[in-house]
Amino acid sequence: MSELANDLLKKRARQLDPPSRFSSEEADSLGQLPNFRKNELHLSTQNLPDITSFFSQLEVFTNDNGYKFQTYYKPPRNKVDDSSVIFVMHHGAGSSGATFAKLALAIETQCEMQSICNVPGVFTFDMRGHGRTGLLNSSSEENNKLSFDKLCDDFRLLLQWFHERYISEGPPPSYFFVGHSLGGSILTKVISDDVNKNVCLEKNLGQLIAGLVMIDIVEDTAVKALSAMNSYLNATPKQFPSIEHAVRWHIDSNLLHNHDSSLISVPSLFTRTEEGQFKWIIDLRKTETFWQEWFKGLSSRFVSIPNRVSKLLILANNDYLDKDLMIGQMQGKYQLVVFHNNQLKHVNTLTTATQTIPSEDASDLGHFVHEDIPFKVAACLLDFVERNDYSFASSNSSSSNIKSQVDLLTALNAKWGVSQ
């Protein structure tokens, strides 16, 4: 195997997303953080950011079998009308909902910078066996039952609960699904099953899904990387003496490149032992039997979703596409955005052709691109929504000459530099 191919395989072995901060109720599980010497690892974690700084509503959803899920919600903020956009985000294996904390903040900040009146909301959760969900069910064998069908069923129930809990009394929103790695595969399967009438979402929720975004996941590379996954896990420390050491390991291992984001996402991956060590909440080795099914058929499902659900694929430092994705891209079935380290300016993202977008949030980026450069990813998501949701685009347009959808499209095409 060539050095380049070997490096790619090693990088994609992270596709199962090693590694995200607990709700305030979790003090008993996490324990009191030790008083670190400030210069020991050149990190200041004495005042770790709290997840409530990013999500205002934290609730626990319990399914019919008594299994509990920790959820996080940042409601939309509308100034113009009642129409709203909500990003529903799903993390990948080994991660947690806190991986999207900085992205949720960046979306709000980008709206302020761009004078966007209607700020989208963000809903996410800790997947089965992960983060606080794993701790809430620490004595349950269900934590390790991560079959693909079960994970999809979990999401369907969570979406239905979320809609009934927060949305049902008001105007229906436009949902834009955002999934990182395995999360993207789950969301793609849920939408595909709904449109093909295999497993339909309750209460016609499928009709409210306007867009699907997959972050750094390509079926072919993910499946190939699985062969190296056990070696990767065997080389991963089983525990750390402190959260500081865990954060430093993630940075030094190039799993994360954004220090600020790591202070939010990394602590939620660990629980404190009686000996004062910090061990992983989820042991991915126990889920090995499910790895192959997580990604099988992903690319064909993604490109086969009808165009009424707009699709975006975001990749980091790699524009490799497998056969299905390549054909779909040539046919204009989805938008492809590739973030690279070596670019300096934010270029136009809004065509069905491949676009290369630079990063400014961190000096490097990797598989957790939404953590490494959350402000660039937020700008990309908002552009995607503006392109594909008429109500959002029209409510945030400042032009008094816009009186119809044709006028709006003309204005947006001028903004994006698209010739008519």
CB-based contacts of 136: which residues, under 8 Å, 6+ apart? 60, 68, 69, 70
Catalytic residue (choose from 20, 181, 261, 394): 181
Catalytic residue (choose from 17, 126, 194, 216): 216
Distance (Å, rounded) from C-alpha 49 to C-alpha 239?
Answer: 22
Closest CA to 383 of 327, 324, 335: 335
Let me know if 181 is a catalytic residue.
yes
Distance (Å, rounded) from C-alpha 126 to C-alpha 97?
Answer: 5
Residue with tokens 């009934």: 164
Q: What is the DSSP letter of 146?
A: -
Q: How many other CB atoms are there within 10 angstroms of residue 318's CB atom?
A: 16
Bridge-based pairing of strands 270-272 and 278-280 is antiparallel
State the sign of the Cα–Cα–Cα–Cα dihedral 345, 88, 396, 311.
positive
Let me know if 231 is a catalytic residue.
no
Closest CA to 281 of 273, 289, 291: 273
Catalytic residue (choose from 367, 370, 383, 395): 367
Paired tokens of 358: 């630079």
Within its chain, how far is the Cα of 93 from the centroid?
Answer: 11
Please list the alpha-helical segments (H only) found in 49-179: 101-113, 131-136, 148-162
Distance (Å, rounded) from C-alpha 204 to C-alpha 212?
Answer: 17
Distance (Å, rounded) from C-alpha 274 to C-alpha 31?
Answer: 10
Distance (Å, rounded) from C-alpha 260 to C-alpha 96?
Answer: 16
Give the amino acid at 88: V
Catalytic residues: 181, 216, 367
